[in-house]
Structure 1
Amino acid sequence: MSLNVIFNASGILNFAQGHLLVVAGVLAFLWYPEGGGVVIWLLCLLAVAAGMAVLTGFQGLLTLLPLRSSVEQHSWIVTTLAASIITGALVTLSMGPNALSVKNPFGTFSFAGTQVPYIYLGLIALTVIVYLALRWFQRTFLVGLALSALSQDLEAARAAGAATRQLQVLSFAIAGVVLGLTGFLGASVIGISESNALQYLIFGFIVAVVGGLGNNTGALIAGPIFGVLLMYVTYEWGNQLQTPLAVAVIVAVLMLRPQGIFGRPHARRV
């Protein structure tokens, strides 16, 4: 959904988001004190979300600067990849190459004969909350309506007087909030290391494409399905098949329905 927020407002796929998710996990490692209570946890959650909004918004500003008036120049591919590489290098230089261990503050519960962290339930709840919050924001507030206008027709929105560049930077900041919440909440159950960032980006991109680029409802449905399928294959045949499965899924979807399962075909002038 964070990929979709940026894509709808600017047509950009932010290839730096895998590393930005790792940065959110690093901030959780650094800022949340061991043994901190619920209040401290909530304050740290808000602080990480705010910090990621600023960082991702700044990255978005740098990404959008060379574009002038449109995204058709495709310079955003270079700038987002550069941001990804630079962010990964900074994480490695500051924290080292090993995965960081973040303590689970909420414990576990018993399910199907195994102990499952409560964080997983929190991540499921966060997914639904983010989906509903984005939907409410885009339909209730003038800024949200303006962002929706950008997703439908960027040129028409610009002609109508919308501050397109500022709105596009805002979309990066909103995506940063989503990344911050996800990275902080999930820091104890995902691998927080630079080496995992590319995998997070690839899997997120696949879910976005399968669900239909820009379609948050598609992402909400396709994400859990793809995740369960991925874990089932890993359980049955090992994690060496994760990448081939991911590639097979996206190839099959693009061959059968290029706009994604929940996406809409776009008409074009020929």
Structure 2
Amino acid sequence: MNEILVILIRGAGVGSLYALIAMSLNLAYNATGVLNFAQGHLLVTAGVCTYLWMPDGAGTASPMWYLTLVAVLVATAVVGMIQGLITLIPMRRDGGSHSWVATTIAGSIVLGALITLWIGPQVVNVPNYFGFVPLPDGRVPGVYPMLVVLALVVWAGLRWYQSSFLSGLALNALSQDVDAARAAGVPALKFQMLAFGLAAAITAGAGFIGSSAIEISGSRGTNYVIFGFIVAVIGGIGNNKGALIAGPLFGVLMMYVSFELGGGLQVVTALAVIVAVLLLRPQGIFGRPHARRV
């Protein structure tokens, strides 16, 4: 019984981390048509900043914890906007080609190399700031339930923002039709940069809150964005509600495979899941098929 609870709690937490990455991918994709494969290394960047900037002994009761949170969010958002600008400029020249694939992957590689130069090749560890959840025969770090809460808060916050603020409505307009939004006077590039910044901030929040639950090193970002992308595909690209549901389910599956069969089979299982989804329901389990103009 205790093992099942551990699998459920840890799996839902890790899956919520993937859901947050998926929501950040969706946010940028809806506004720009770009899947930003650098999001995984933005997550690691936030973890590195947390490791380096958090004062020793600071906890959730300390003002420095919250100041560090704001600093990490702002710094990562700025990096995300710069990377987004580098990605979008070639697209504007090429008439919307798929140059973003190369630029976002290149951005991921560059960020990974900079992180390695910054902290070295080792994996760094951040303390658990959220205590532990008691179980009948043990305990689980409280960071995992906090990640579930964070995913719910981000999902609700995005819904509220995109329905209640002019900038959020502008992002919605871009997701419907970029050319029509431009014709209506929406400064597309400005709001697309905002989308990249917000997406990076979401990833930064996940990296800050979940820093004790992830491996922080320059080589790990690719793994996180792959799992986040798989969750986005399962939930339906662009569908945040789908990502919110698919993330914990996928995380529990991965945790079960790790417990029962070993961590080496996680990647194989993840690939099997995405292949099955693409074969049986290409729009994602929670997505809707789109009409195609001919």
Counterpart of 1:19? 41
The 5 A counterparts of 1:68-147 are 68=92, 72-147=96-171
Q: CA deviation at 1:69?
A: 6.5
Structure with the bigger RCO (C-alpha within 8 Å, sep 6+) is: 2
Partner of 1:230: 254
Question: Offset of 1:114 from its aligned partner?
Answer: 2.4
Counterpart for residue 24 of structure 2: 2
- Alpha carbons 1:99, 1:192 under 8 Å: kept: yes
Distance apart, 1:104 and its partner CA: 1.4
Moved more, 93-102 or 35-44: 35-44
Give, in whole Å, the separation in 2 of the partners of 1:118 and 1:70: 47
User: Residues 267 and 108 of structure 1: is their aligned pair in 2 closer, same or farther, counting only changes over 3 Å?
Assistant: same
Q: What is the rounded CA distance, in whole Å, between the counterparts of 1:96 and 1:123 in structure 2?
A: 27
Q: Is 1:261 the counterpart of 2:285 in the alignment?
A: yes
Cα distance in 2 between the residues matched to 1:106 and 1:248: 34
Q: Please, which runs of 5 or more residues in structure 2 have no aligned partner?
A: 1-22
SS of 1:194's partner is: coil
| Structure 1 gaps, min length 5 | none
C-alpha separation in 1, matches of 2:273 and 2:128: 32
Q: Kindly indicate whether residue 192 of structure 2 is the aligned counterpart of residue 163 of structure 1.
A: no
Cα offsets for 1:205-245 (capped at 9, x unmatched) = 00001000000000000000000000001100001111111
Contact 1:10–1:71 (CA under 8 A) maintained in structure 2: no
Instruction: Map Cα deviations across residues 23-58 of structure 1 (whole Å, 9 max, x no partner).
Output: 000000001112114211111111111111111011
| 2:124 partner SS | coil
Cα deviation 1:67-124 (Å, max 9, x = unaligned)? 1177731111111111101100011111111110111123213224222111112111
Give the conservation status (yes or no) of the 8 Å contact 1:138–1:144: yes
Q: Percent identity?
A: 56
- In the TM superposition, structure 1's runs of 4+ consecutive aligned residues that sit over 6 Å from their partners are none
Q: Which residue of 2 aligns with 1:28?
A: 50
Question: One-letter code of the match for 1:166?
Answer: K
Correspondence 1:165-244 to 2 at 5 A: 165-244=189-268
Query: CA separation in 2, counterparts of 1:253 and 1:91?
Result: 34
Q: Tell me the C-alpha RMSD between the 2 structures.
A: 1.2
Q: What is the distance in 2 between the residues matched to 1:71 and 1:141?
A: 30
SS of 2:219's equivalent in the other structure is helix
Give the TM-score normalised by the residue count of structure 1: 0.97
For these two proteins, the number of residue pairs brought into alignment is 270
How far 1:15 moved relative to its partner? 0.7
- Kindly indicate whether residue 80 of structure 2 is the aligned counterpart of residue 56 of structure 1: yes
